[in-house]
Amino acid sequence: MKGLTFAVAIALLLPVAGRADDKKSKPNISVKASPAIAFSPARVVATADLKGGANDYEDFYCPSIEWEWGDGTTSQDTLDCDPYEAGKSEIKRRFTASKVFQTSGDFRVIFRLKKKDKTIASGSTDVKIRPGAREIGGVDR
């Protein structure tokens, strides 16, 4: 009997693949910038990836996208999607945007998923732009 009790206890502690609550788990957001360090003027490409979670996570289906660049500017995009269907509709997992930073500074780039005007999830990364030739008195060629 002791062996059976031990086996049942272990089985209860192990994760069960395909449980209903796992299928509806919220994806995590990872944000990266490339390059993360550059000289001005610098074109930076930001990428937000949704990792893990359910492919049909309803809150993340067909959101509006907002990028805040850390210099007082924002970029926005709205997706055009079919109505949500549980188990059938899939969330978009990768978002990209680019920005040319004309001046040097340390910038926090923030990615937001929004429904209407409400932020439902966000992530961020830092970008460091160092003074380029134009900023430190160089000559345009």
Least confident of 8-12, 90-94, 120-124: 8-12
Q: What is the mean pLDDT of the chain?
A: 85
| pLDDT beyond 70 at 9 | no
Confidence (pLDDT) at 24: 74
- Alpha helix (H) residue ranges in 24-141: none
- Whether 105 contacts 42, CB under 8 Å: no
Per-residue pLDDT tens over the stretch 38-66:
999 999 999 999 999 999 999 999 999 99
For residue 110, list its beta bridge partners.
Answer: 68, 124
Secondary structure of residue 2 in the 3-state scheme: helix
Residue 112, amino acid:
R
pTM: 0.79
d(C-alpha 78, C-alpha 114), whole Å: 9
- Whether 108 contacts 132, CB under 8 Å: no
| pLDDT beyond 90 at 22 | no
Confidence (pLDDT) at 79: 85
